Amino acid sequence: MEVGVVLLTVFVYGLAIFLWVREGSPNYVVGLLGGHLATLLSPFWQALYGFSYDPTMAAIYRLSIDERLQSLTRLQEYALPRPVFIGGWLNVLPALLVFYLYRHRWWFPGYVTNVLTFTLFVVYYMLIEVIIQRQNWLLYHNSVLLPLGVPQLLLSAIMNGLVGLATLAAILLTRRYSLTSLLWIVMPIPFALSMLVHGLLGAPLYTALILQAQSWAGAIGLLGTLGLLLSGAHIIAGSLGRPAEWRQTV
């Protein structure tokens, strides 16, 4: 598995460097680096949302759970597998593809277009997770279904879709920045957005999951998280739907 991920990563970076030279835009390479950076938070999300990766995969680092908190989690430690870190560019690939389409005038920002783009992002992340699960590389420790019968797969895809849409917005807003500015501003953005979406917007849900709250409390937590996620997508889609305004900011 790891060899295949490495080869695919080399190909994707080669393509990004080619586009950098051809279009004079380092955004592709910086965006890919940001995807790797965001995966460093994976062990924390595993502990909060109740999933883990195949323990046979080599790990970059492991997050050990304090003895006082082990009763709230399923495992004593969670790892960031090396293949997951190497393939972290998959997190930002949809945003970079849309950025490429925008540069070549094949994609135009507008509220309806942005909502459709967000929907496609969600479908993309669902497909990626389905492939990973079928290969037994990822396992959910809690029920596959969340309160109200919502699949965990869907919630994960919506969260990642929101991160992807916000990353796209950041890339579009900074598309004319220098390489140094991109490294300081854009590269950490997927990391920061992951903290915001998974760590803050998901709090109503994972709090109920960790505390094993009653079904009604879990349902309220799920609805709260979904409401925050969809509100975030609406705000970003609306902001990108006014290109005349954000073009003046760069």
Tokens of 234: 């609406």
Specify the pLDDT at position 78.
85
Q: Which residues pair with 151 in a beta bridge?
A: 145
Specify the pLDDT at position 154.
92
pLDDT 10s per residue in the chain (250 long)? 678 899 999 999 999 999 999 999 999 999 999 999 999 999 989 888 888 898 889 888 888 765 545 545 555 678 899 999 999 999 999 999 999 999 999 998 889 999 999 999 999 999 999 999 888 888 887 665 688 888 889 999 999 999 999 999 999 999 889 999 999 999 999 999 999 999 999 988 888 777 776 777 888 888 999 999 999 999 999 988 765 555 554 4
Q: Give alpha helix (H) positions in the chain.
A: 2-23, 27-38, 42-49, 82-86, 93-103, 111-134, 152-173, 179-185, 189-194, 203-210, 215-240, 243-246
Specify the pLDDT at position 77.
74
Specify the pLDDT at position 198.
95
Q: Which amino acid is present at 56?
A: T
Specify the pLDDT at position 163.
97
Specify the pLDDT at position 51.
87
Tokens of 223: 């609805």
- The three-state secondary structure class of 248 is helix
Specify the pLDDT at position 229.
96
Specify the pLDDT at position 71.
46
Cβ atoms of residues 205 and 159 within 8 Å: no
Cβ atoms of residues 160 and 121 within 8 Å: yes
**Angle, in degrees to the nearest 10, between helices 27-38 and 152-173:** 140
Cβ atoms of residues 49 and 210 within 8 Å: no
